[in-house]
Structure 1
């Protein structure tokens, strides 16, 4: 349970960091605003023409008597919009990060330098276009995983009682995990940690990940909130990535440095594709 608090603490630290760095926060808002406009337009279109799409997809119900036809198609329309909303929440971060890659790379790098005891930050030697390609490819792979979870949760949601109680809770935890993966990818990619290694790290401390991502996912359900929280979420995810990698962390002006469990100091990150073991539990 301690990791839940630590994960949530990183989320708060990230928001506090951007509140002290107004310029980075301002630039970090732009990609979220662009993505928000695109998603609102898509959801409005779904609300306006979703019923027509359901009618087109269910010709077998044309001869059904009232009220069964209306109830059936109304239910499917509501499900279609709910799936669209869930997909928007799951993909908002990935699309925003893709649009704002240069902004968030710079922000994450400054967070690294600010919290590192020696003031340095890992940097990628890859050209920009290569980094953008890797980011887009990994985001698509994560989206496929998230979509599979979405289909599974939707099927479970049809079960009586369980679908109305347990499944929504599971949905928030799944959303929180994938949100955290997308956000930490900015810091991990600069260190050469590939997608498989990132997922291994995140799964090794699920409660830490849930403590960060689940409340963020709940906040993202509130209209417009995601835009204003994104810069701080990227900053907090950078700190979370350092926690998962066992790197020293020191908030400038407050707190003290934390080292790995074996006392080793690794400011330079990890070898590309490798996964360092998670810090051992304190004795």
Structure 2
């Protein structure tokens, strides 16, 4: 259970780091804002079209007596929108990171430098276009995994009681885990850690990933919150990455902590 608190602590520390380095905020809000506008339009369209989709998909319920037909279709509309929302929360992060990759890479590297004992940060040896290709490919793989989970959760949502209580909780855990992976990927990719290794690392410390990702997933449901939280989430995920890899940390500062040189006073 300690890892839950540690994960939440990294999320908070990341927001504090960005608040204390406001010059790093700047354009970091723009990718999230662009993505938010796109996703808001898609979710509004889903809200208007979900009812028609459910009616088209369930012709057998047209002859059901009231109120069962209406309740059944209403519940399916809720599940369709919930599935769309789950996909939106996870893919929002992926799309925002792709749009703002140069900024978020630089921000993550600065967090590494501020916490590294020698004031250095791991750097990718790949050209920018190659890093972008890998990020896009891995994001698509994560989206496929989330889609599979979403379909399973949608199916189990039909179970009485369980579908209305346990399944939504599992959905937030799944969303939180993949959010943690997407955000930690910024720092891990600079270290040459591939997707399979990243997933293995996070699975070995699921509580840490949930402690970081689940509160973030809940916060992302608040309108505009994702835009303002993204830079701090990337910073916090970099701190989480250092923990996963057992890298040493020091107090946050803008200057490297070099050992003193020359004679010292007795």
- Confirm or deny a common fold (TM above 0.5): yes
Structure-2 residue corresponding to 1:142 = 142
Of 231-240 and 209-218, deviating more is 209-218
- Asked if the contact 2:115–2:253 (Cα under 8 Å) also holds between the matched residues in 1, the reply is no
The structure carrying a bigger helix percent of its residues is 2
Take 2:142 and 2:71, find their aligned partners in 1: how far apart are those partners?
A: 35
Structure-1 residue corresponding to 2:23 = 23
Gaps of 5+ in 1: 258-283
Higher relative contact order (CA 8 A, sep 6+): 2
CA-CA distance at 1:27 after TM superposition: 1.8
Take 1:240 and 1:103, find their aligned partners in 2: how far apart are those partners?
A: 19
Cα gap change, 1:89 to 1:237, in 2 (>3 Å): same
Cα gap change, 1:112 to 1:197, in 2 (>3 Å): same
CA-CA distance at 1:34 after TM superposition: 0.6
Residues 36-88 of structure 1: CA distance to partner in whole angstroms, max 9, x if unpaired?
00000001111223323333444555666665554444333332222111211
CA RMSD of aligned residues (A): 2.0
Take 1:168 and 1:54, find their aligned partners in 2: how far apart are those partners?
A: 20
**What TM-score do the two structures reach when normalised by structure 2?**
0.89
3-state SS of 1:173 partner:
helix
Gaps of 5+ in 2: 258-266
- Asked if the contact 2:79–2:157 (Cα under 8 Å) also holds between the matched residues in 1, the reply is no
Structure-2 residue corresponding to 1:46 = 46
Cα gap change, 1:157 to 1:60, in 2 (>3 Å): closer
Of 161-170 and 230-239, deviating more is 161-170
Cα gap change, 1:21 to 1:69, in 2 (>3 Å): same
Aligned length: 255
3-state SS of 2:242 partner:
helix
CA-CA distance at 1:145 after TM superposition: 1.1
Which structure 2 residues correspond to residues 190-205 of structure 1 after superposition, within 5 A? 190-205=190-205
Structure-2 residue corresponding to 1:220 = 220
**What TM-score do the two structures reach when normalised by structure 1?**
0.84
Cα gap change, 1:67 to 1:2, in 2 (>3 Å): closer
Residues 206-258 of structure 1: CA distance to partner in whole angstroms, max 9, x if unpaired?
1111111111111111111111111000000001001101111113259xx9x
Structure-2 residue corresponding to 1:117 = 117
Structure-2 residue corresponding to 1:183 = 183
- Asked if the contact 2:29–2:231 (Cα under 8 Å) also holds between the matched residues in 1, the reply is yes
Of 131-140 and 143-152, deviating more is 143-152
Structure-2 residue corresponding to 1:267 = none
Structure-1 residue corresponding to 2:261 = none
